[in-house]
A and B are shown apart, each in its own frame.
Chain A
C-alpha cells in the first residue's frame, strides 16, 4: 500500500542568524493511508510545525514531503490551496473560529467549498453541540469552541484529518466523545488521521505512534492492538 504521506530530510528553520530556531531537523517519515497516527512530544518539539507542513499550511525550509504522488514541497501557492481544499481537514491547536460567525456558519464556511460535505447541523450534533448551533464563538466555552472546530474539520469528510491537540481543552468525558467521532470518521470514511496530543494514553487508540524530540523523530511505534476511545482514560 502506498503511504499517504512520506517525508525525507524535512527541516524547518524559523528566523535567521544567531536567533534562528530549528523547529524540525531532518525528519524522515512514512504514514500509511487510512491509519490513525498520534504524535507525541514535549512542548516545542516541533509537532505543530510538522503538522502544518504536511497539511500544506506552511513550507519546509528543506527536504521533501509527498502526499501520495503529490510533492507538497514543490507545489506553488495555488496548488497548495487546491490540495488543502480538496483533501485536508484541519483542527488547529488554537481554535481559530471566525468571531463574527455562529457555530453553524463556521462549519458552513468549510462545507461550502467542500466536494462531499455532511450537513453542518449533523457535524455539530456529532460533537454534541446540536443545541448551540446559533451561538457565536464568544458565547461558547473554550471546549465548545474546540468542538466546533472539530465539527468543521469532519463535516468536510476529508481524506486526511489533521488535529492539533483536539482534546487539549476538554474534560475526559467530552474528550472521549470527540475521540469517538474522530475514530468513526476514520473507520467509516477511511480518512487518514494525524493527531497531536499531550495525553500519552490517547496513543492507545492509534495504529501508529510517533514521538518527536527536539525537531527530530525519536521513535515510531506500531500498536498491535488498539483500544476503542471509550476505554481510554487520562
Chain B
C-alpha cells in the first residue's frame, strides 16, 4: 500500500470519534431519504400493479336500484368501454365480545366466473359455491384481527334480517385497499369489514333480483372522464343514481393517494433538509480537518507531490467517510423501509407489498454527501495551495490579535485572562464561529421542530376528542328519522344528553375544485360536537350559509365570503348555492357544517335526523351500546373511545410512526454537530492549550478556555435554531397532515425547552469527552508534534 494510503487509514483511525459522528449524521440523513422515497415508490408501484392485475373499475356509479337491462345502455354510451353491475349492501356483524355491531360492506361476486372489475384476491379458503346458501368470503384483515378462519360461522344482519353466514374463504379487493370505519373514517382492521357473496344470494338479501345498485365501468382509451360521468348520471338518474365518480373519488383510492402523496411531499421536503444539515456539517468538518493538515500538505508539496495528487489524497478521505455514511444510510434506510411495510399492510389491504428502494435515493444520498464533503475540502485545499510549500510548512504565524477586541477600563478589570482568551478566540475567527453556530442552530431547529411535532400529534387527539367532539358515542340510523328518535335515545337510562345530527352525502364544488363528502347539520347551540374557531371558541352557525373545516377550505381553495355549490346526494337532491361564512379548526376529516333546520329546509324534510351524538354514564356505556345494537333503526354506533384508540394506533403504528424515525434522526444529527464542534475547537487549540499548561495554567483553566468558546457558540445558536425550528414545524406538520387528520403546527414552549436541553446536554457530554481528552493529552507529544 502506498504510504499516502497508509496515512489515510491512520488519520481516519486517529479522528475516529469524529469520523463515526459524521458517518452517523450522513447515514441518518440518507436513511430518511432512502426509506421515504422507497416507500413512495413501493406503494405507488404496488398499487398500480394491483389495480391493473385485479382490474379496478374506472368509474363507480351507485344507484338505488336499476334493472340489469340498463347495463347494455351504459356500455353503449360514448366513452364507456365495458360496464358491469353488482349488488352492494350494508351489513352488521354481531360479535359477542363487542358491545357495538361491526359495520361491513357486503359485495356481490358474479354467480359464475370472474368479475370483470375489482376482482378479488383470495388469501385463504375457497370461493363460495354458486348457489351455496349463506356462504361468504370475509375481508382478510378483519378476519386476522378477529381470529376468524374459513370454516367459522359469522352472525350477520343484512337488510334487517339476522343470519348465520359460513365463512369459506378470506379475500381482498383493489377497491378496498383502504376501508374506514363508517362515520369515523379511521382505518381499523378490527372494526370494519367486507363480505363477498354470490350475486343471487346477495340479491335475495337486498331485494335486488334482476337488478344492480352499483355499476362498474371501464372508460375507453380516449374518453374524458367528466363528460362520461355526466352521461352516466343522466342515464341512471331515473333509477336513483347518486352520482357516478371516478377512481380519484373512490374513498379507498383517495386515502391511499393521500398517504402516498403525503409521503411523497415529505420525502421531497424533509430528507433533503436533514441531508442539507448533515452536508453542512460535513463541509465544515472536512474543511477543518484539511486546515489542520496544512503543514503536511506543505511537506507533500515540498517533496514534489502535485496539487492533484495531494487533493486526491484528501478526496479519498472525504470519499471514505461520505461513502461509509451513504452506504450505512442506504442499509439502514432499506431496513427501516422494510420495517415500515407491515405497518402499511395493517392499515391498507395490499395483497403483497415489497419494499423496493428507489435507486435514485441511493444516488442522491451518496452524491449529496460526497459533494458537500468535497466542497469543504476543496475550498480549504485551494487556500492551502495558494501558499508556497515553505509558507504552508511553517507553523502558522502567531495569529494577529491586534485587530480583535481590546479590553479597557472596567472591562479590563472585570475579565480575567482566560475569559479574555475565550472572547478573543471567538472574535478572531468570526466565520468559523458563525459556521459552527449555524450548524448547531440547524441541529436545534431539527430537534425542536420534531419535538413540537410529537406534541402536535397529542394535541390533535386532545382537541379532537375533548374540545371539538365531546361525545361518547355516535349513533347512525339506517335512514333519516323524525326528531322523536333522538328523544327515544335520551330516555335510555344512563344517557346524559343527546344531540341530533343530520349528515347528508354531498358534492361540494368551487369552480373546478370538487370534494365528495358530506354536510353535517348541527343543532343551533350544540354542546357536544361543535365547530370551533382558531381560538377554540364555538362558531355560531349561520341561518344561511355553511362553515367549512380548514382542511376542506384548503381542498376547495375557498375563503369566507365566497359562494359554494353544494349538490346534496340524498332525498330530493337539491343543489344549494351557499356562502362560506367561517372556517373552522378541525383536525380530523374534512367536515362541512350547516344548521340542521336550514339543511332540512333545503331538503324539504323538516325535523329529520340521520343520527345523534350521545354523552353517557361511563359506567353504563357498555350496556347502552349493547341495547342499541338490537334496535332495527340503528345502522351503527361509533364509540369515541374506540375511535380515539384507532387513531392513536394509526398515528403510532401507521404513517405517523415515521415521526419517531425522523425524531431519532434529528437528535443524532444534532449530537453529531455539537460533538464535532467541540472536537474541532479541541484540535485547533491543542497546541495553545498545551503551551498554557506548560506555563502553569491548571487543567480547569485550559478546559475553560476551550469549552467557554463552545458554550458561547451554543448559547448564541439556541434562539436562532429555535426560530428556524418553529418554521420547520409548519413544513413537517403539512407533510404529516392528510384528509384523515391534520397536525396543528404551533409554537410549543415545552418542545423548544426540551430541544434546548438536549442541545445543552449534548454540549455537556461533548465538552466532557473533549475535556477528558484534554486532561489525558501528553503535553510533550503535542508540543513535539509539529517542530
Residues on A lying within 8 angstroms of B by beta carbon are: 52, 55, 57-59, 77-78, 81-86, 88, 90, 92, 94-96, 98-101, 105-106, 108-110, 112-113, 138, 142
Q: Check if B299 sits within 8 Å of A82, measured CB to CB.
A: no
Q: Check if A94 sits within 8 Å of B307, measured CB to CB.
A: no
Give, as a whole number of angstroms, the nearest-CB distance from B304 to chain A.
2
CA distance A78 to B385 in the complex (A): 11
CA distance A105 to B5 in the complex (A): 10
Q: A105 to chain B: which residues have CB within 8 Å?
A: 3, 6-7
* Top 9 closest pairs, chain A to chain B, by CB: A85-B304, A58-B390, A100-B10, A57-B390, A84-B304, A52-B390, A109-B3, A105-B3, A94-B787
Which residues of chain B from 487 to 529 have a CB within 8 Å of any chain A CB?
Answer: none
Residues on B lying within 8 angstroms of A by beta carbon are: 2-4, 6-7, 10-11, 14, 295-296, 299-307, 309, 385, 388-391, 393, 781, 784-787
Q: A92 to chain B: which residues have CB within 8 Å?
A: 302, 393
CA distance A113 to B304 in the complex (A): 8
Q: B11 to chain A: which residues have CB within 8 Å?
A: 100
CA distance A85 to B302 in the complex (A): 8
Given contacts A57-B389, A81-B305, A84-B303, contact A108 B3 (CB under 8 A): yes
7 A–B contact pairs at CB < 8 A? A59-B388, A83-B304, A84-B302, A100-B10, A105-B6, A108-B2, A112-B2
Give, as a whole number of angstroms, the nearest-CB distance from B338 to chain A.
40
CA distance A106 to B302 in the complex (A): 14
Q: Check if A109 sits within 8 Å of B785, measured CB to CB.
A: no
Q: B10 to chain A: which residues have CB within 8 Å?
A: 100-101
Q: A55 to chain B: which residues have CB within 8 Å?
A: 302
Please, which residue of chain B has its CB at the minimum distance from the CB of A111? B3
CA distance A84 to B215 in the complex (A): 86
Contacts between the two chains (Cβ within 8 Å), count:
83
Please, which residue of chain A has its CB at the minimum distance from the CB of B9? A100
Please, which residue of chain B has its CB at the minimum distance from the CB of A59? B388
CA distance A58 to B393 in the complex (A): 11
Q: B389 to chain A: which residues have CB within 8 Å?
A: 57-58, 84
Q: In this complex, which of A78, A84, A109 has the most chain B Cβ atoms within 10 angstroms of its Cβ?
A: A109
CA distance A156 to B696 in the complex (A): 44
Q: B3 to chain A: which residues have CB within 8 Å?
A: 101, 105-106, 108-109, 112
Q: B299 to chain A: which residues have CB within 8 Å?
A: 96, 98
CA distance A109 to B299 in the complex (A): 10
Please, which residue of chain A has its CB at the minimum distance from the CB of B389? A57
Contact of A81 among B7, B295, B306, B391 (CB under 8 A): B306
Q: Check if A81 sits within 8 Å of B6, measured CB to CB.
A: no
Q: In this complex, which of A77, A86, A99, A110 has the most chain B Cβ atoms within 10 angstroms of its Cβ?
A: A99
CA distance A92 to B296 in the complex (A): 13
Given contacts A58-B388, A106-B3, A109-B4, contact A85 B303 (CB under 8 A): yes
Give, as a whole number of angstroms, the nearest-CB distance from A196 to chain B.
14
Give, as a whole number of angstroms, the nearest-CB distance from A82 to chain B.
7
Q: Check if A57 sits within 8 Å of B388, measured CB to CB.
A: yes
Q: Check if A81 sits within 8 Å of B307, measured CB to CB.
A: yes
CA distance A100 to B391 in the complex (A): 21
Q: Check if A100 sits within 8 Å of B304, measured CB to CB.
A: no
Given contacts A58-B390, A112-B3, A138-B785, contact A100 B302 (CB under 8 A): no
Given contacts A100-B11, A109-B4, contact A85 B390 (CB under 8 A): no
CA distance A106 to B6 in the complex (A): 10
Q: B787 to chain A: which residues have CB within 8 Å?
A: 94-95
Q: B781 to chain A: which residues have CB within 8 Å?
A: 138
Interface contacts beyond A105-B7, A112-B4: sample of 18 additional A-B pairs, CB < 8 Å, sorted by A: A58-B388, A58-B389, A81-B306, A84-B301, A84-B304, A94-B786, A94-B787, A96-B295, A96-B299, A101-B6, A105-B3, A106-B3, A109-B4, A109-B303, A112-B2, A113-B304, A113-B305, A142-B784
Q: B309 to chain A: which residues have CB within 8 Å?
A: 113
Q: B305 to chain A: which residues have CB within 8 Å?
A: 81, 85, 113
Contact of A98 among B7, B390, B391 (CB under 8 A): B7
Give, as a whole number of angstroms, the nearest-CB distance from A159 to chain B.
13
CA distance A86 to B305 in the complex (A): 10
Please, which residue of chain A has its CB at the minimum distance from the CB of B12? A100
Please, which residue of chain B has its CB at the minimum distance from the CB of A152? B303
Please, which residue of chain A has its CB at the minimum distance from the CB of B787? A94
Give, as a whole number of angstroms, the nearest-CB distance from A110 to chain B.
5
CA distance A99 to B300 in the complex (A): 13
Give, as a whole number of angstroms, the nearest-CB distance from B780 to chain A.
9
Q: Check if B303 sits within 8 Å of A113, measured CB to CB.
A: yes
Q: A94 to chain B: which residues have CB within 8 Å?
A: 393, 786-787
CA distance A105 to B10 in the complex (A): 12
Give, as a whole number of angstroms, the nearest-CB distance from A16 to chain B.
14
Q: B4 to chain A: which residues have CB within 8 Å?
A: 109, 112
CA distance A96 to B388 in the complex (A): 16
Please, which residue of chain A has its CB at the minimum distance from the CB of B6? A105
Q: Check if A100 sits within 8 Å of B14, measured CB to CB.
A: yes
Q: Check if A90 sits within 8 Å of B14, measured CB to CB.
A: no
Q: Check if A96 sits within 8 Å of B393, measured CB to CB.
A: yes
Give, as a whole number of angstroms, the nearest-CB distance from B226 to chain A.
68
Q: Check if A138 sits within 8 Å of B784, measured CB to CB.
A: yes
Give, as a whole number of angstroms, the nearest-CB distance from B657 to chain A.
45
Q: A82 to chain B: which residues have CB within 8 Å?
A: 304, 306
CA distance A146 to B6 in the complex (A): 22
Give, as a whole number of angstroms, the nearest-CB distance from A86 to chain B.
7
CA distance A96 to B786 in the complex (A): 7
CA distance A54 to B295 in the complex (A): 20
Please, which residue of chain B has its CB at the minimum distance from the CB of A107? B3
CA distance A159 to B390 in the complex (A): 20
Q: Check if B306 sits within 8 Å of A78, measured CB to CB.
A: yes
Please, which residue of chain A has its CB at the minimum distance from the CB of B781? A138
CA distance A138 to B389 in the complex (A): 23
CA distance A56 to B460 in the complex (A): 71
Please, which residue of chain A has its CB at the minimum distance from the CB of B304? A85
CA distance A90 to B390 in the complex (A): 12
Q: A90 to chain B: which residues have CB within 8 Å?
A: 302-303
CA distance A138 to B784 in the complex (A): 8
Contact of B7 among A77, A83, A100, A138 (CB under 8 A): A100
CA distance A217 to B785 in the complex (A): 34
CA distance A58 to B787 in the complex (A): 19
Give, as a whole number of angstroms, the nearest-CB distance from B385 to chain A.
8
Give, as a whole number of angstroms, the nearest-CB distance from B287 to chain A.
19
CA distance A9 to B296 in the complex (A): 32
CA distance A81 to B299 in the complex (A): 12
CA distance A78 to B309 in the complex (A): 12
Give, as a whole number of angstroms, the nearest-CB distance from A94 to chain B.
4
Q: In this complex, which of A77, A78, A142 has the most chain B Cβ atoms within 10 angstroms of its Cβ?
A: A77
